[in-house]
A = this chain, B = another copy of it.
Amino acid sequence: MSKVYLIRKAHFSAAHRLYNPEMTESDNWGIYGPCTNANGHGHNYTLEVVIAGEPDPKTGILMNLAHLKEIVHDVVIKEMDHKNLNLDVPALRGIIPTAENLSIVIWKMLKEKVPRGLLHEIRLRETENNLSIYRGE
């Protein structure tokens, strides 16, 4: 028996704004800095979906990669690519789109769609210098 981890990368480009309407303007600037700019800004996000489990001994694969790619595309990329994360994405309604929250929400979006409980980790890169990881813990 051999446990293998497989990482699949995907990309989306989106606008967002970090702003909590229940806090004062000045508190928003103190916490989010220029990320709270009223008209928004944006990023090229890189999403890494990590699945973990035993490869099928007959095929040597953990999961059909074309199938995984399709799931990631239909569940996440189609929803978030070339979108405004504050306004266009139902799954993010009422959620401040920080990298932390995005990695948690994407985990929830994928959890049931990835078969056999294979989903292990979500890695979301917001900029070259910034990455959030969530494992459903």
Tell whether, in the assembled complex, residue A31 and residue B15 are in contact, meaning their CB atoms are under 8 Å apart.
no
User: Number of A residues whose C-beta is below 8 Å from B?
Assistant: 65
A103: chain B residues within 8 A (beta carbon): 4
| Chain A interface SS verdict (over half) | mixed
Q: Mark A37-77, 1 if CB is under 8 A from B, else 0.
A: 10111111000000000010011111011100000000000
Contact A43 B40 (CB under 8 A): no
A110 located at the interface, meaning its Cβ lies under 8 Å from any Cβ of chain B in the complex: no
Task: Given A60-B95, A61-B31, verify A82-B9 contact (CB < 8 Å).
Answer: no
A109 interfacial contact with B, CB 8 Å? no
For A61, the chain B residues whose CB sits under 8 A away are 31-32, 98, 100
